[in-house]
Amino acid sequence: MKALEDIISSITVDAPVTDVTRGIFWTAVVSRHCGLASTMIYDCKLEDGREPGQTSYLQTSAASLAKDALTTSTVDASVGLAAINSLIDVDMARCLDLNAGDYLARNGQGKNIAIIGHFPFIDDLRKVAGNLWVIERRMQPGDHPEEEAAALLARSDIIAISSTTLINHTLDGILGLCPSGSTKMLLGPTTPLTRVLFDHGIDIISGSIVTDPDTALLHIRQGANFRQLKRTGSIRLVTLMKDQGGYRSQ
């Protein structure tokens, strides 16, 4: 959990938590900003002896809540990641208005690409990649199990990793399997948009910023998935690159 610990340590500000919303797909924490994280509904588990809602979120600060990201409870870790994202001041001067799927399609032509997790752009990416390997716990047709990750990652030119790996604490292990010469991307709304991740071998950080919290929270409460949330106009997709000058847009 070193990457996650370093992200938490890098946050030097705090603010009261004014809202915690847990929808089917997304969890939101509002403090300085509105931060998102995956609810991880299929993987939700609590630490022994804890009950859902046992913590009064609104009686704590966001920095205190952020430490829950380190717990083994995916329920609390999800809220903790959203709290982290609610505190981060994103360096907008370095942000590109770029969807992770668009980057992969433009820069992954003919290459071996491994994706940790399922994303809506996978079918389109299959059309341009040399090989596309989707590694997933809840496998769908054509996916590969976690047991094959080491062998597939070793052959990959580009590796896109779901930021839910921060919630289930598997990111560090996955990065340890990635070849040094591969391009490594962390993506998804859970992604903390912080340059700290570059220190841990990530080359591209692709996440989202909530631009209209009221609208986003309303739809999260109503069970919106991310595509539906994006259609409301309350979310902005952005990308940070370690080597921004090396980006090829076409």
CATH number of the structural domain spanning residue 7: 3.30.390.100
Q: Which residue, chain included where needed, has tokens 């403090």?
A: 31
Compute, in degrees rounded to 10, the torsion defined by CA atoms 119, 72, 86, 184.
Answer: -40
Q: Residue with structure tokens 């047709």?
A: 141
Instruction: Write down the pLDDT at residue 40.
Output: 84
Instruction: Give yes or no: residues 12 and 119 share one domain.
Output: no
Given 57, 89, 121, the domain boundary residue is 89
Domain range for 70: 2-89
Where a domain ends, among 89, 109, 126? 89
Q: For residue range 104-114, what is the model confidence (pLDDT) as tens digits?
A: 999 999 999 99
Q: Do 13 and 97 lie in a common domain?
A: no
- 97 in the same domain as 10: no
Query: Is residue 79 one of the residues assigned to a domain?
Result: yes
Question: Do 156 and 102 have their domain in common?
Answer: yes
Q: Is residue 249 part of a domain?
A: no
- Contact (Cβ atoms closer than 8 angstroms) between residue 68 and residue 83: yes
Q: What is the pLDDT of residue 179?
A: 95
Numbers of helices and strands, H then E, in the chain: 9, 9
Q: Given pLDDT bands bounded at 50, 70 and 90, which one contains residue 118?
A: confident
Residues 152 and 81 in one domain: no
Q: Which of 65, 89, 113 is the last residue of a domain?
A: 89
Let me know whether 82 and 114 are in one domain. no
Of the ranges 22-31, 135-144, 191-200, 229-238, which one carries the lowest mean pLDDT score?
Answer: 135-144
- Model confidence at 47: pLDDT above 70: no
Q: Using one digit for the tens of pLDDT, what is the confidence trace for 168-198?
A: 999 999 999 999 999 999 999 999 999 999 9
**Are both 163 and 235 inside the same structural domain?**
yes
202 and 108 fall within a common domain:
yes
Mean pLDDT score of the chain, rounded to an integer?
90
Instruction: Give buried/exposed letters for 45-69 (b at 16+ CB in 10 A, else e).
Output: eeeeeeeeeebebeebebbebbebb
The total domain count for the chain is: 2
- Residue 102 half-sphere exposure, CB side, CA atoms within 13 Å? 12
Question: Could you tell me which residues are beta bridge partners of residue 211?
Answer: none
Model pTM? 0.90
* Angle subtended at Cα 184 by Cα 162 and Cα 205, rounded to the nearest 5 degrees: 65
- Mean pLDDT over 35-45 rounds to 78
